[in-house]
Amino acid sequence: MGAILVLNAGSSSIKFALFDNALEQSLSGLAAGIGGASFLEVDGERRELPFIDHRSALAAVLKALEARGVAVKDLRAAAHRVVHGGRKLTAPVRINDEVRVEIAACSPLAPLHNPHNLAAIDTLAELAPDLPQYASFDTSFHATNPDVATRYAIPKMMETKGIRRYGFHGLSYASLVRRLPEISGEKLPSRLLAFHLGNGASLCAILNGQSVATTMGYSPLDGLTMGTRSGGIDANAVLRLVEENGLERTKAILNHESGLLGLSGGKSDMRNLMLDPSADSAFAIEHFCYWTLRHAGSLIAAMQGVDAIAFTGGIGENATAVRARICQGLEWLGARMNPDFNHRARPRLHADSSKVGLWVIPAEEERMIARDAQSLMEAA
């Protein structure tokens, strides 16, 4: 009964974590800067190493694990975060040839993510061909959204090509649904509004444990103001940007140069923005909070009310002032935050007089991925 290795591969990095049979994390790390100034970090210990591609980075990760007494042959399985599962991959799966083909078929829907997820899967299959591999999908939690929530008002022939709303951060929301009752000691609220706030940010309306609406759409670009992504923007404005700048330049503007970065004139990290006294930084923070609240109203309407609100993600868990601003903007619901609870970062944020539960739940996406793989192995 070996450990489960969880991998989250990006364009220039591979995050990894090791979980035992009790789903306790024993170590974690990062192989970063692939193709450039690269390094390997394991439990805070960092070494400069040359990674020309994902294969060399993953080989270094496996070597580092072996140096800590965890050989590949001792692993029980590897489990991957795959961003996009499309319409067919709506639950965790063991990876085989058919699943791999389907993940590849979803690459046009997530060109910045799925190809790198596949690179890790293929590389590990080469380096450790006998190791079972599993995949969990960021889109799958939102497969319960009704058609009216996922269909764009475009001709059906285009919708059948995959142009529809999918939603993301599903692993975070699935973990939150599991963890909230454990932390609160109460049953899951029927109408739960979840805020995943980080460099990428979204909201999710969770009705009786299932996603019924979310702010991200066809791609992770839509919805809230984010670290470097614009969030919602009129399609004709995008077309004008393409006319003036070309397609590739427009992609870079909207995905990498907008959001908090574009509004503030150079800062995408909420911690830096909150330390900066400039008017631009203050406006960027207010923009983030304003549009989070605008979208919150929409998702509350989708559930016909709300019983509890939960924050997760880097900003949701750590930015005390942002949580306070958002909760202040929801006082019309009867939400009342206890400022002392908020400043002490307690899981429970709401005052006794609050009509709505307010919670902070740590994001545990890697543990959720390990749990998915473990469940599939136990069911086999």
Question: Is the pLDDT confidence value at 1 over 80?
Answer: no
Q: How far apart are CA 221 and CA 216, in angstroms?
A: 7
pLDDT for residue 110: 83
- Where do we find the tokens 């800590």? 68
Report yes or no on 33 lying in a domain.
yes
Over residues 292-350, the pLDDT tens digits come to 999 999 999 999 999 999 999 999 999 999 999 999 999 999 999 999 999 998 999 99
Three-state SS at 239: helix
Question: In this structure, are 218 and 128 located in the same domain?
Answer: no
Residue 368 lies in a domain: no
Task: Classify residue 164: in a domain, yes or no.
Answer: no
Rounded to whole angstroms, the Cα distance separating 27 from 10 reads 19
Same domain as 196, residue 130: no
Residues 105 and 203 in one domain: no
Q: Residues in the chain, how many?
A: 380
Mean pLDDT, range 247-267, rounded to an integer: 96
Average pLDDT, the chain: 95
pLDDT of residue 141: 98
| Predicted pLDDT at 160 | 81
pLDDT class for 161, splitting at 50, 70, 90?
confident
Position 262 pLDDT exceeds 80: yes
**Residue 235 forms part of a structural domain:** yes
H-assigned helices in 202-258: 235-245, 247-256
Whole-number Å distance between alpha carbons of 139 and 116 = 16
Q: Would the pLDDT of 372 be above 90? A: yes
> Which range marks the domain in which residue 342 is found?
185-360
Written as six digits, the tokens of 76 are 């029980």
Does any domain span residue 163?
Answer: no
Domain-located, residue 324: yes
- Is the residue at 124 inside a domain? yes
Do residues 44 and 131 share a domain?
Answer: yes
Q: Name which of 335, 307, 275 is nearest 206 in CA terms.
A: 307
If residue 93 lies in a helix (H) or strand (E), which one and from where to where?
A: strand 93-94
Answer whether residue 45 shows pLDDT above 80.
yes
* Contact status, residue 132 vs residue 77, Cβ threshold 8 Å: yes
Q: What mean pLDDT is predicted for residues 45-57?
A: 92
Q: Quick one: 92 and 226 in the same domain?
A: no
The DSSP symbol for 344 reads T
Q: If you average pLDDT over residues 142-158, what whole number do you get? A: 94
Among 137, 160, 177, the domain boundary falls at 137
Q: At 82, which CATH number? A: 3.30.420.40
Asked if residue 332 belongs to a domain, the reply is yes
Domains held by the chain: number:
2
Q: What is the pLDDT of residues 243-254, one digit of tens each?
A: 999 999 999 999
Distance CA 121, CA 7 (A): 9
Strand duo 93-94 + 133-137: pairing: antiparallel
Looking at the fold, whether 224 and 331 belong to one and the same domain comes out as: yes
Active-site annotation holder among 43, 74, 138, 276: 138
Same domain, 130 and 242: no
**318 shares a domain with 204:** yes
Say if residue 132 is in the same domain as residue 194.
no
Q: Are residues 128 and 229 in the same domain?
A: no
Q: How confident is the model at residue 355 (pLDDT cuts 50, 70, 90)?
A: very high
| Residue predicted with more confidence, 35 or 310 | 310
pLDDT > 70 in the chain, percent: 100
- Same domain, residue pair 210 and 274: yes
For residue 183, the one-letter residue type is: I
Q: Are residues 239 and 355 in the same domain?
A: yes
What is the predicted pLDDT for the residue at 157?
86
Within 10 angstroms of residue 277's Cβ, the number of other Cβ atoms is: 7
The answer to whether 222 is a known catalytic residue is no
Q: Average pLDDT of 38-44? A: 95
